[in-house]
Structure 1
Amino acid sequence: MKLKFLKQSAEQRREMILNGSIPRSLFMLALPTLMMGVVQSMMPLTDGLFINNVAGTLVASAVTYCQPILNMAVALSQGLGAAAMAMIGQTNGRGETEEAKHISTQVMVFAFVLGLCLVPVLVLVSFPVSAHVTPEISRNVFLYIALNAAVLPFSFLESIYNAIKNSSGKPEATLVRMLMMLTLKILFNCIFIVWLRLGIVGCVLASLGANVIVSVWMYFELFVLKSEDKLELHGFHFDRGILRQLIHIGIPSMISSVMLQIGFFLINNEVQKYGAVVLNGQGIANNITNICFNLPSAFGAAVTTMVSMNIGAGQAKHARRCMWVGCLFSMITAVLIIAIVVPLSPYLTVLFTREKEVLFIANHALHIYTYSVVGFGVCMVEQGAFIGLGRTKVPMVIGFLRIWALRYVFILCTESVLSFYSVFWGNLFSNYVAAVISTLLIMHVEWKSMLDDGSAPPRRHRSLLHLPKH
């Protein structure tokens, strides 16, 4: 069954999503994304293992502190990717495959140009940021941010590649990319961090080398390899209509993603004042829980694909059922993760460091973070449904509430009592409250496409597989 799924054409995949069993379709779409979530989480995990065990606590603390800043820039591409998934998914749902490929090309080129424009911005940002941290990590913070600017355009390409493949119902393609990335990152970490002992510079060189090679491979697959999904650059010029719609839909998602990362940055600011030990302990917990959070939230991408295609085909009730089944799958996955990770936490954290003070912080943070996975997974699946509907402003509001109005305010209000533990408990509190809010909103939303503001009547799906041959 799995092999047949991988060999399906775009129309067969579309037929499965629109008319097949919801649990089966959701599982088949989510399985590659689940696997990709594991692989994607393994990258910071393996980076953390190399950095903590070879480069030391100060370098590891600097990397932990810088990650939200770099993610602010990457968040722009993720916002574009969310908009692209809605546009391409609904276009595929209507059976307009050539138009879907045209949109894909437009978004891919636009994202790469935007990534290039942000390179000097990120370099400039490194100066004030490094000046406002503790002296022990200041130099490493500057180097890590400034040098990572070179990686940014390639990260943009990868985000859009994921969006194109997911919106076409082919998430297994993103898994292949992530496996390549993980393998290359481990190889380059061995070369630049372990063998050459380049420290923070080696961390960046490993990322740059892996991203460049993977981007070349993506270009070959999308624009050179002959297939039904091949994109064309010949005679390319920007389509203002598509870009206008992309930006209109993407801005809320971009703002949402950036605001989330700003929130994480401010939270790291609250942590870093307690010193490198606490910051590193939190970073180790984050590296491990990345897997925990990515697995239940992986159903969100599958739900976006299924909702967008079904809405494009005029099947609102089917789209709604897809979302609820996705929430159920996400909760089951989250409970299984809690049952596995919590008992194993002391054995996992010791892989990163032998420093007792760091381990003490990491173990406590890991326990609290892991219990918040259920709420996070439900929230991400429901946000995936909103994106599939083209209602990208709703995830922006929920994201703002989750990080700013709930988590950051919780930290500020309880820090005097809980100290740095307020950060860990704030994570749990905000994820569950956000899940409740998003559930209430999704229960009262009107299930129709917002890409045309509801002015155009939905087109009922008619399978191309059953059309007469000409």
Structure 2
Amino acid sequence: MNFNFLRQNTEQRRDLILNGPISSTLFLLSFPTLMMGLVQSIMPVMDGIFINNLIGTIGASAITYSGPIINMMIALAQGLSVAGMALMGQMNGRGNYKGVKHVSTQIVVFAFLIGCITAPILYLLAYPVSSNVDAQIAHDVFLYLALNSLVLPFSFLESIYNAIKNASGKPEATFIRMVIMLILKIIFNVVFIIVFPLGLVGSVMSSLLSNILICLWMFYELFIKKGEDRLTLKGFKFDTKVLLKLITIGIPSMLSSLMLNLGFFLINNETEKYGPIVLTGQGIANNITSVCFNLPSAFGSAVTTMVSMNIGAGQSAKAKKTCFQACLVSAATAAILIAIVLPLSSSLTTLFTNEQEVLTVANRSLNIYIYSVIGFGVCMVQQGAFIGLGRTRLPLVISLLRIWLLRYLFILATERVLGFYSVFWGNLFSNYAAAIISTIIILRTKWVSAISLKENKSNTTKPASVV
């Protein structure tokens, strides 16, 4: 690992992406994201160990059930994040650093505002959602959703910070943020779940305080720390042209994330009717396999950066080659992870609980679920390429196919025969089918900027600081 890479400025990083060898650049850009994926995977594992062992099966199942609902709210931030990466990445490719700063400031302020507006919506949703679940987990579902509305605005800011850094080819910054977040979460989990046994409330308090401190650090990094990428709020006013472009580009990704998590919510509804034990077992399997899903898909962010910059610089052949090399690397990474985790699966699940009924569900589910990682990783890399091209509608279509048509319908069709295990067989089937469909589409895709094509068709011109 060449650590001089970490000291490069934006211009040097751009030169590396545009002129350096694909394989080494891909690994250099992906390494921080891979490490971040590892940290992201450890975080739910640590949370799961605290929650399952100290809060219990009821609280753990409530958290598993509530996760997709919270993520539906965060879908807005993810859509803006994806749009920002595509737009800022192509601007970086053209060397328009002033424009990148302008867009960065706009998206930070706008995202925080939207997060504040969305927070009370999540609180209000807690009432109808909790009234339509198993009575055993209803109270905890309400409590978890209502309290997480306080965390929402900070989650929005973190998504945008990741977009700004990734679009500049500096994913190591997002890795540092996740490491700090993990450390804070562990400390606050000990304080609010062990020292002060506050249960589910303590779990949310841990997240809230961790997010507040992280956002203070991010504000310093973006607006106070001296450097060429420093942003400023002096004389700030909303630029409607930039915001409309971000929203237009981001809407497909927002819908993709929203529909994806709505699908997960409906799948949870199918699982929830079997009771808290099954839902908890599913949550444990998800926590353990998160490392296997996060690491292969981490190459997708690097591909977005490399494709967007190369497309912005007119290097379409290199952008295409980057995508296909990343698909092979992602598939190989997934296969290695499966070979490592699978023999350890029964030992890993016992870290979360000693309840035999929960362990039986978790172990069997994990042994089905984990094989879908290869297809998922390839699909995520190709979606990263589509985003880099500015073709954000294609990930929406693929996500809808993967969750709704391929997975949810599979579950409904096989549930009578497979029971709740249809959820995991559906995951296996849908991830590989989606990867095949995505590969067919990308082989037929023109490697040109969809953003530039839209601008040319509308015959509009933008100031140099915006486009």
Shorter-chain TM range is: over 0.9
Match of 1:167 in 2: 167
Q: Secondary structure at the match of 2:150?
A: helix
Alignment of 1:196-235 (within 5 A): 196-235=196-235
Match of 2:465 in 1: none
Q: Secondary structure at the match of 2:69?
A: helix
Deviation at 1:83, TM superposition (A): 0.6
Match of 1:284 in 2: 284
Residue identity matched to 1:54: L
Task: Mark the CA change 1:454 to 1:251 in structure 2 (over 3 Å): closer, same or farther.
Answer: closer
Deviation at 1:455, TM superposition (A): 5.5
2:297 is the alignment partner of 1:300: no
Match of 1:468 in 2: none
Residue identity matched to 1:395: P
Deviation at 1:76, TM superposition (A): 1.4
Q: Is the 8 A contact 1:448 1:454 kept in 2?
A: no
Residue identity matched to 2:334: A
Residue identity matched to 1:234: K
Structure 2 spans left out of the alignment, 5+ residues: 458-467
Alignment of 1:48-87 (within 5 A): 48-87=48-87
- Aligned length, in residue pairs: 457
Residue identity matched to 1:87: L
Residue identity matched to 2:36: M
Alignment of 1:314-333 (within 5 A): 314-333=314-333
Match of 1:145 in 2: 145
Identity between Structure 1 and Structure 2 (%)? 62
1:265-316 per-residue CA deviation (whole Å, 9 max, x = no partner) reads 0000000000000000000000011111000000000000000000000000
Alpha-carbon separation, structure 2, partners of 1:454 and 1:261 = 29
Deviation at 1:183, TM superposition (A): 0.3
Alpha-carbon separation, structure 2, partners of 1:57 and 1:306 = 44
Residue identity matched to 1:95: G
Alignment of 1:31-430 (within 5 A): 31-430=31-430
2:446 is the alignment partner of 1:446: yes
Deviation at 1:228, TM superposition (A): 1.0
1:185-213 per-residue CA deviation (whole Å, 9 max, x = no partner) reads 00000011111111111111000000000
Q: Secondary structure at the match of 2:145?
A: helix
Alpha-carbon separation, structure 2, partners of 1:330 and 1:321 = 14
Worse overlay, 415-424 or 447-456: 447-456
Alpha-carbon separation, structure 2, partners of 1:297 and 1:195 = 36
Alpha-carbon separation, structure 2, partners of 1:2 and 1:226 = 25
1:318-364 per-residue CA deviation (whole Å, 9 max, x = no partner) reads 00001001101101100000100111100100000011110010011
Q: Secondary structure at the match of 1:453?
A: helix
Structure 1 spans left out of the alignment, 5+ residues: 458-470
Match of 1:23 in 2: 23
Worse overlay, 67-76 or 29-38: 67-76
Deviation at 1:390, TM superposition (A): 0.3
Alpha-carbon separation, structure 1, partners of 2:386 and 2:211 = 30
Deviation at 1:42, TM superposition (A): 1.2
Q: Secondary structure at the match of 2:82?
A: helix
Runs of 4+ aligned structure 1 residues displaced above 4 Å come to: 454-457
Residue identity matched to 1:107: I
Residue identity matched to 2:146: A
Deviation at 1:452, TM superposition (A): 2.4
Residue identity matched to 1:351: L
Alpha-carbon separation, structure 2, partners of 1:72 and 1:41 = 20
Deviation at 1:2, TM superposition (A): 2.4
Match of 1:463 in 2: none
Task: Mark the CA change 1:455 to 1:87 in structure 2 (over 3 Å): closer, same or farther.
Answer: closer
Residue identity matched to 1:154: F
Alpha-carbon separation, structure 1, partners of 2:319 and 2:154 = 33
Task: Mark the CA change 1:321 to 1:84 in structure 2 (over 3 Å): closer, same or farther.
Answer: same
Alpha-carbon separation, structure 1, partners of 2:364 and 2:66 = 22
- What TM-score results when the alignment is normalised by the length of structure 2? 0.97
Deviation at 1:369, TM superposition (A): 1.3
Alpha-carbon separation, structure 2, partners of 1:453 and 1:19 = 25
Q: Is the 8 A contact 1:44 1:287 kept in 2?
A: yes
User: RMSD of the TM alignment (CA)?
Assistant: 0.9
Q: Secondary structure at the match of 1:412?
A: helix
Q: Secondary structure at the match of 2:298?
A: helix
Q: Secondary structure at the match of 1:314?
A: coil
Alpha-carbon separation, structure 1, partners of 2:88 and 2:203 = 35
